[in-house]
Amino acid sequence: MRPEIYEHFHPDEREFVDKAWEWVQNAGQYHETKLTDFLDPRQRFILESLVNRHPDVHAVYDGGHSEAERVRAIIAPDYRDLSDEDFEMKVLAITSGDQKFLSLEHGDYMGSVLGLGIKRSKIGDIHVLEDGCHVVVAEDIGNYLHLNLSQVHRVHVMTELLPIQELRVKEVQLETMELTAASLRLDGIASDVHRISRTKIVVPIKAGRCRVNWKVTEDPSTMLKEGDMVSIQGFGRFKVLETGGLTKKGRYRIKVGKFA
Question: Of all helices (H) and strands (E), which one includes residue 209?
Answer: none
**Three-class secondary structure assignment of 26-67:** HHHHHCCCEECCCECHHHHHHHHHHHCCCCCEEEEEECCCCC
Which residues, in sequence order, are CB contacts of 196 under 8 Å at separation 6+? Answer: none
Residues 131 and 203 placed together within one structural domain of the fold: no
The DSSP bridge partners found for residue 240 are 256
Residues 219 and 180 placed together within one structural domain of the fold: yes
For residue range 37-89, what is the model confidence (pLDDT) as tens digits?
A: 999 999 999 999 999 999 999 999 999 999 999 999 999 999 999 999 999 99
Question: Are 44 and 76 a contacting pair, CB within 8 Å?
Answer: no
CATH number at residue 65: 3.30.1370.160
How many independent structural domains does the chain possess? 3
In this structure, is residue 83 part of a structural domain? no
Residues 57 and 12 placed together within one structural domain of the fold: yes
Query: Looking at residue 45, what is its pLDDT?
Result: 94
Task: Determine the Cα–Cα distance for residues 102 and 187; give it in Å rounded to an integer.
Answer: 34
The residue with greater pLDDT, 5 or 2, is: 5
**Of 166, 195, 226, which residue is a domain's last?**
166
pLDDT exceeds 90 at position 12? no
In this structure, is residue 84 part of a structural domain? no
Residue-number span of the structural domain to which 60 is assigned = 3-77
Share of the chain above pLDDT 90, in %: 79
DSSP state of 71: B
Query: Looking at residue 2, what is its pLDDT?
Result: 60
Task: Determine the Cα–Cα distance for residues 129 and 121; give it in Å rounded to an integer.
Answer: 22
Q: Average model confidence (pLDDT) for the chain?
A: 93
pLDDT exceeds 90 at position 100? no
Task: Determine the Cα–Cα distance for residues 244 and 145; give it in Å rounded to an integer.
Answer: 47
**Of 119, 134, 166, which residue is a domain's last?**
166
Whether the model clears a pTM of 0.95, i.e. scores above it, the answer is no
Confidence of residue 119 (pLDDT cuts 50, 70, 90): very high
Query: Looking at residue 3, what is its pLDDT?
Result: 59
